[in-house]
Each structure stands twice: as structure tokens, then as C-alpha cells.
Amino acid sequence: MSAAEEVVAEGNEPVEAVPKRAMTLGTGTSVVVLLLLLAVPLFAKNFVIFQLTQLLYLGLAVLALNILTGGSGQFSLGQSAFYGIGAYVTAVMMEQFNIPYFLCLPVAGVVCFGAGFLFGQPALRLSGVYLALATFALATAMPQLLKLNFLEPWTGGVQGLVVTKPDAPFGLKMSQDMWLYYFTLVVVIAIYVFSVNLLRSRSGRAFMAIRDNEIAASAMGVNVALYKTLAFGVSAGITGVAGGLSAIAVQFVAPDSFTITLAIQLFLGMVVGGVGWLPGSIVGAAFIIFVPNIAEGISKGLSGAVFGVLLFLVIYLVPHGARQVAILGQQLAGRLRRN
Amino acid sequence: MTFGRTLRTAALITAVATLTSGAALAQKKYDTGATDTEIKIGNIMPYSGPASAYGVIGKTEEAYFKMINDKGGINGRKIVYVTYDDGYSPPKAVEQVRKLVESDEVLAVFNPLGTPSNTAIQKYLNAKKIPQLFVATGATKWNDPKNFPWTIGWQPSYQSEAQIYAKWLLKERPDAKVAILYQNDDFGKDYLKGTKDGFGAKASSTIIMEESYEVSEPSIDGHIVKIKAANPDVLLIYTTPKFGAQTIKKTAELGWKPLQIITNVSASVGSVMKPAGFEASQDVLSAAYAKDGADPRWNDDADMKKWVEFLDKYMPGADKTDSSVVYGYGAAQTLVKALEQCGDDLTRANLMKQAASLKDFAPDTLLPGVKINTGPNDFAPISQLQMQKFKGEKWEPFGDIMNGDIAPE
């Protein structure tokens, strides 16, 4: 068999000897993961479904950061700001103007795309740690901006805004949690497919060219300024949609929900999932949701320390995150098949 | 036909059996989270994050329930206290509370801390009809039995406290010209509203100035100078601790001596009075509802001796000057009281009913005379405070216990 060909064996497990599309999963694995994501809620308690919904939208936010950092090579510690804007746009539209939630999300995305694109302009002059610092400033400022007085009639100020959870439509006999999960799943899959295609397109190649060597990229005729800000915009837009989904799922937005801690969590999720490997985003999101809970289960007083140790182990043992584990798994499966 | 008759007979027999088997057996009623042997209570606390200093409250409560269990529990049932960290983050609070309710299956959620966290979980808990008992925040909105019949507060609300200041001023200084400095957020506005309500019709003639500041301002000296220019003789300081210290210090620097009243929130000796300078702080007024664990006056107080005994045995090494230890003890004692009143009817509805029918209950750590009273239309357990004056290096209570009952909105 040709090395580049996919082999689908009994277990529906595709093996790629050479990961020709390092960004994504093979078709077989994707189908398995998709089936799992579709089936699990049918057998799970509402609380688990809620956690899975969290997993999906945080995964989406990590994915957005992955496009920015893994794709175009720009750092951001300011994702929480876009996430917050998205959440607030959705919450305000739903609660103050009674607009249905599925119409709010695209608006949140567009608003955040605009905000990201604009923020990308000054960020153009910065790179590396300086850019990280500039975005950090954005994340620090956001909770206070959300508390601003003249916005209070809409945002509810410090008190935040309670959001009504949507019921399942068409009289479906489905709990609110389950409906929201499937709704989120559809949104996430759509954006995932869009992102994969984006990175494989002309624009995606331009992103990666900039990431790998900015001077070479511009010599090849890539409009560096445009594509850098575009990457910021796309990333912010997707983060905004993720924030909007979070507002609906959590049923509440408050300035304290979108602090710098969130931005760092997203960054952490990206590193743990594997920088530049989109499917890893979900793994990264799982890490930031579940590992703190596990750490708290081990020791309440030392939960922070336990979390630190676990994180350290992950970075030390698998520095490339989930992507490395996936590649190891593939190699192992390949070896088993040969024997 | 036959089946119907059998059913009726069975029902009749059951009814007779229930009636004759004694009232005690018939009354045993449980909701999820309560059994013959245990009562499961959930809680969320910021053990990590910006407000982690309050985590001591959760630890105190855990230790208190351990003591109750060691003494045989409540009507023979042990309290199982499940407490999770929400990091003062509302989304995390929602996640953890859902875990408590849907995975741990607790009977009630008790003393969750922080206004944002409680706002985030209030709708969910009320929709599920799960008691959100004795929330640890001073916002006034928790006393709203009509819209949120499953949520009840505990500590005096900011508005109650402000009303008490107004009442005291009306009585002692009827001709006062009052200036109010408040933080421009819900915290400060709650105080502002309480003060105006307290002055009633005299509000417009008494309050000559309302000056607000933003919490993001580094210093509020400018505001003090501006207030002094208006020449009021009473200054109400509705600020958080940092700004409280700045205000007291600045008025002293200006050589200005109005009658100053500072919120209970900022009445901390360690973080406000001391940084402001003890000399500048003399004769500043405030109000309190709980005893100060560090005050030697309570050394011979029988109730506080119980508190000290508890700390020595169940929380060795705890900081007695930390008001969170006093707070957690009082809140936990209130919950135990409500659970005791439930008897064998441990349903959520009954627990809520009992929490709302506390009569003249006085936890060990509250000031003598301050009593907890609740009712179907009164979901604000503590609404009494006593005025206190700063003398030397500590607060000295004076005058009567005052009421600041707020009608639910």
C-alpha cells in the first residue's frame, strides 16, 4: 500500500503513515468522534450534558486561538475580551431586545470580527511578547469596560445580566440542556469545517507563510498586514460566537466572568491540545474544564498546586500536547498492523 | 371492576395503617438529599481567585458541621457538607452548583458567597425549587420572596444598614447637613437608597450633597476636598475598605472634623482604621451585628466561649481576628437551627418554610440583642445592628440595637 493512502481497517481506524493533513483528523476518526458526540448525550445526565456543552464552546474558543497562534503565529492573551464581547452582545440582544438566540450568535461573531480586525491594526506593529502584552492589556481592561456606567441600562453593570435558556423548538421532547448541546454541536462543527477549509485555502497558506517567515511571505507577494489583521478578526469572531454560546448555556453574564484568568485558560487549552492542531482544541478544553475539578477532588486546600503539578507533567511528558499523543497512537497502531 | 375494588380496599387499608401507626412515622418525608441517616448540603465558595480570603467561611462551616455530627447530628442525622470552589467566577459557580444538584444530589445549597455568583445560580435553583439558603452577600435583592421564593439572605443588607444610620441621625442630629460619598456601583447605590428611604420626607432637606467615585480611581482626595467645600457637618462614607481608609485620612489632613459614619464593610480595624491612622480614626461611627472575635470584652461571654472552644478543637490555628471565622460559625448555626425545626419532614419545601420561620433566634456570634427573625414575607434574617464608635484602637458599641427592616421590593 502506498504510504500516503488511508487504510481503514475493521475498527474504523484510519492510519496515515505520513500525516499529510497535519491540521485535522482522518475521515474515519472524525466519523467516530462525531458519532460519539452525537450519541453520548442520549445516555448522560443533564449535568454531564451541560459539561459537554461547556466542552464544546470552550473548545471553540481554543480553536479560535489556535487559528491565530497555530495558523498565523501571533500570540494573544486577550481572547477573554472577545469572548466577553460575544457573550454580552448575545445576552443584551436576547434579554433587552428579545431577539431569538440563533440570530444573536452571528451578530456576536460579526461584532467580534470587527473588534478583532480593528485591534489587529495597532497590533500589526507589535510581534511576539509585545503583542502578547498588548492583548493582555485588552483582557485586563475588559471587565472594567463592561461595568461602564453609560452601558449599564443594557449590561446591568456589576450585577450582570440573567439570560433565559431557550426551549427545544418544534415541540421536540428534549431537555433544554440537550437541545442546547445539539445546537452548540452544529455550530461548532460548522465552524470547525470552515476553519479547516480556511487553513487549507489560499488565506490559510498565507497565514502559515507569515507564521514561518514574515519576510519570505511578503517577498512572495502575501499582503502581510492584511492577513495578520484578518487572522485576528477571524479568531476574534469565532471567539465571540463561543462567548455567545457560553452566555446561553450559563444563563448569566457578568464582568467577573471574563477576566484575564479566562484568557490564560484558553491559552493553556491551546498548548495542551497542541498548537496548530485543530482537533486538539477539544482536548485542551477538556483539560481546562475537568483537570481543576480533579485537582479539587484530590486536595481542596492545595487544588492550585495539584493543578500546577498536573500541568507541569503534561508539558514535560508531552510538550506538543494532545497532538503528540495522537501521533504516537498512530505510529503504535501502524506498528501493530505491520506485525 | 375487581381491580378497582382491590385498589380501593388497598388504599383504605394503607390509610388506616398510616393513621394508626403513629404520627412520627407518617411525618417522615424526604426529598433528594435527605435520608434516615444523613442530610446532604451543598455549598460553593471562592477557595481560589480574587476573593479567596473568604474561603475561610467555607472551612469554618465544614468544621462546624463536623462538630454537630460528633455531637450526634441533627435529630440523629449527620450533615454531609459538599463544598466546591467557584473561584469567584459566575460560570464556574453555575457549573459547580449544577454538579451539587444533579450529581451530588444535595437537599439544599447553603451560604454560597458573592453577589455575582448568587445572581448566576438564583434562576436555576428557583426553577428547580431547590433552597438557596442564607446567601453570603449584602445586596438587598435577596429579600424577594414573591419572585424568588427559594432564595433567602442572611446578613443585614446594605440598605438596612444605611436606614439605621439615617434613623440614628434623625434622632441624634435632626438638623444635620449630610454629605454622602458612595462608590458608583450597586454596592454604593444600595446604601444611597437605604439612606434616602431612612430619611424619608426629610431626605431632600438633610442630604446636601451626593458625591460618587469610580472604583477604578486611584485616589479620592479630590472628592473629599469638593465635599468639604460644601461644608456639611455629617459625612457618610459608603466605600470599600481602601477608599474608606483614604477618606478618613484625607479629612484629618484637611483638619476637617465632620461627624463621620463608615460602612460596616469598611469598619475593619486592620485594613481601614490602622492604615488611616488611629488618631484620625477617633470618634468615627459605624454599625455592627456580630461580635469581634479579637475583642477582649467577650472573654467572659458564655456564647463566645463556645466559639473559642469550637475553634480550639475543630479549627486549631484559625485566626481569631478574621471576621470570616465569626461569620461562618453564625451562618452554620442558623442552618442547623432551620434543619432542627424541620424535624422528620426533610423536604425542600419544608426546609424553605422553616428557614422563613425563625423566631428570635440568636446565634452565639451575634451581638447581644441582635436576633434572627424571618417570615413568609421577610426573607432578610438579620436586619438589626448596633451603632459603634471607634475609641483608642477598637470599636465600642453604644446605644440600643436598631432595626432596619426593608420591605421587599
A261–B89 CB contact, under 8 Å: yes
Q: What is the mean pLDDT of residues A287-316?
A: 85
- Max avg pLDDT among A132-136, A239-243, B240-244: A239-243
Residue A96 in this model has a pLDDT that exceeds 70: yes
Please give the Cα distance from A234 to A242 (Å, whole number).
12
Q: Which residues on chain A are in Cβ contact (under 8 Å) with B83?
A: 300
**Complex confidence, ipTM:** 0.78
Confidence (pLDDT) at B8: 62
- B9: confidence class by pLDDT, cuts 50, 70, 90: low
Burial A292-322 (b: 16+ CB within 10 A, else e): bbebbeeebeebbebbeebbeebeeeeebbb
Please give the Cα distance from B366 to A189 (Å, whole number).
56
- Nearest 5°: phi and psi at A8? -105, 115
For the entire predicted model, the pTM comes to 0.80
Which of B61, B96, B100, B115 is the best residue to mutate to test the A interface, defined by the most A CB atoms within 10 Å of its own CB?
B115
Q: Could you tell me which residues of chain B have a Cβ less than 8 Å from any Cβ in chain A?
A: 47-49, 83-85, 87-91, 94-95, 98-99, 101-103, 115-116, 119-120, 122-124, 184-187, 216
Count of CB contacts below 8 A, A vs B?
79
Max Cα distance, chain B (Å): 95
Burial of A169 by CB count in 10 Å (0-12 exposed, 13-18 middle, 19+ buried)?
A: exposed
Question: Quick one: DSSP state of residue A15?
Answer: E
Confidence (pLDDT) at A5: 39
Q: Per residue in A105-127, pLDDT tens?
A: 999 999 999 999 988 887 778 87
B115–A157 CB contact, under 8 Å: no
Give the three-class secondary structure for A332: helix
Alpha carbon distance, N-terminus to C-terminus of chain A: 15
Q: Per residue in A68-89, pLDDT tens?
A: 998 888 888 989 999 999 999 9
Confidence (pLDDT) at A22: 56
The helix (run of H) or strand (run of E) holding residue A8 is: strand A7-8
B84–A296 CB contact, under 8 Å: yes
- The distance of A225 to chain B (nearest Cα, Å) reads 35
Do residues A198 and A69 lie in contact, with contact meaning Cβ atoms separated by under 8 Å?
Answer: no
Q: Which residues on chain A are in Cβ contact (under 8 Å) with B115?
A: 158-159
Do residues B198 and B164 lie in contact, with contact meaning Cβ atoms separated by under 8 Å?
Answer: yes
- Of B114, B111, B55, the C-alpha closest to B88 is B114
Nearest to A296 among B85, B120, B123 (CB): B85
- A23: confidence class by pLDDT, cuts 50, 70, 90: low
The helix (run of H) or strand (run of E) holding residue A259 is: none
Q: State the pairing for strand pair B234-238/B78-85.
A: unpaired
Q: What is the mean pLDDT of residues A290-313?
A: 84
* Full set of structural domains in chain B with CATH: 27-156+298-378 (3.40.50.2300), 159-288 (3.40.50.2300)
Q: Which residues on chain B are in Cβ contact (under 8 Å) with A158?
A: 115-116, 185-187
Q: Per residue in B329-356, pLDDT tens?
A: 999 999 999 999 999 999 999 999 999 9
Counting DSSP H helices and E strands in chain A, the numbers are 15, 4
User: Rg of the Cα trace of chain A?
Assistant: 20
A47–B101 CB contact, under 8 Å: yes
A159–B186 CB contact, under 8 Å: yes
Q: Per residue in A130-146, pLDDT tens?
A: 888 888 888 988 888 88
Confidence (pLDDT) at B14: 55
CA B174 vs. chain centroid, Å, equals 30
B185–A246 CB contact, under 8 Å: no
Q: Could you tell me which residues of chain A have a Cβ less than 8 Å from any Cβ in chain B?
A: 45-47, 50-51, 54, 144, 147, 149, 157-160, 162, 246, 250-254, 256-257, 259, 261, 292, 296, 300-301, 303-304
- Of A106, A55, A54, A62, the C-alpha closest to A80 is A62
Nearest to B116 among A45, A251, A254 (CB): A254
A257–B90 CB contact, under 8 Å: yes
Burial of B384 by CB count in 10 Å (0-12 exposed, 13-18 middle, 19+ buried)?
A: buried
- The distance of B361 to chain A (nearest Cα, Å) reads 31
- Nearest 5°: phi and psi at A278? -60, -45
Do residues A281 and A60 lie in contact, with contact meaning Cβ atoms separated by under 8 Å?
Answer: yes
Reduce the secondary structure of chain B to three states and give it as a string: CHHHHHHHHHHHHHHHHHHHCCHHHHHCEECCCECCCEEEEEEEECCCCCCHHHHHHHHHHHHHHHHHHHCCCECCEEEEEEEEECCCCHHHHHHHHHHHHHHCCCCEEECCECHHHHHHHHHHHHHHCCCEECCECCCHHHCCCCCCCCECCCCCCHHHHHHHHHHHHHHHCCCCCEEEEEECCHHHHHHHHHHHHHHHHHHHHHEEEEEEECCCCCCCHHHHHHHHHHCCCEEEEECCHHHHHHHHHHHHHCCCCCEEEECHHHCCHHHHHHHHCHHHHCCCEEEECECCCCCHHHHHCHHHHHHHHHHHHHCCCCCCCCHHHHHHHHHHHHHHHHHHHHCCEECHHHHHHHHCCCCCECCCCECCCCCECCECCECCCCCEEEEEEEECCEEEEEEEEEECCCCCC
A251–B119 CB contact, under 8 Å: no
Residue B375 in this model has a pLDDT that exceeds 60: yes
Please give the Cα distance from A101 to A99 (Å, whole number).
6
Residue B23 in this model has a pLDDT that exceeds 50: no
Do residues B215 and B184 lie in contact, with contact meaning Cβ atoms separated by under 8 Å?
Answer: yes
Nearest to B89 among A47, A149, A256 (CB): A256
**From A177, which residue of chain B is nearest by alpha-carbon distance?**
B98
Q: Bridge-partner residues for B78, per DSSP?
A: B38
Q: Per residue in B107-163, pLDDT tens?
A: 999 999 988 889 999 999 999 999 999 999 888 889 999 999 999 999 999 999 999
Give the three-class secondary structure for A14: strand
